[in-house]
Amino acid sequence: MTYELLLIKPNGEEKTVTYENEPKLDEYQAMVGGNIEFVNLKFNGKRKDGIVNEEGLIKRLPINHRATKMYQEQNGFSSAPIVGTVVVLKNYLLS
């Protein structure tokens, strides 16, 4: 199986990354720049697992408007935005 991830940066830049094996914890941490936290997002009309920087708000990372919208579409509105780079698991769920 190939693991497809979509990285969404706060500036709107998007990049699809493919792995032959499921990424390890340290790889996810490198993608978001620190400890990880899981979120549910709506991507292409479906619920997807997402990964964000757990301390993103404390570190005052820039708001990720696209990911915030994806989060709100899945979970309802929240006062806290999604910040920093977000990893969307395009074709698999975390086990």
1 or 50, which is more confident? 50
- pLDDT tier at 92, thresholds 50, 70, 90: confident
Predicted TM-score (pTM) of the model is: 0.92
Average pLDDT value over all residues in the chain: 95
CA atoms within 13 A on the CB side of 56: 25
Other beta carbons less than 10 A from residue 18's beta carbon: 10
Taking alpha carbons only, the member of 89, 48, 80, 86 closest to residue 67 is 86
Q: Each residue of 58-68: pLDDT tens digit?
A: 999 999 999 99
What is the Cα–Cα distance from 29 to 37, expressed in whole angstroms?
10
- Note whether 30 and 19 are within 8 A (CB): no
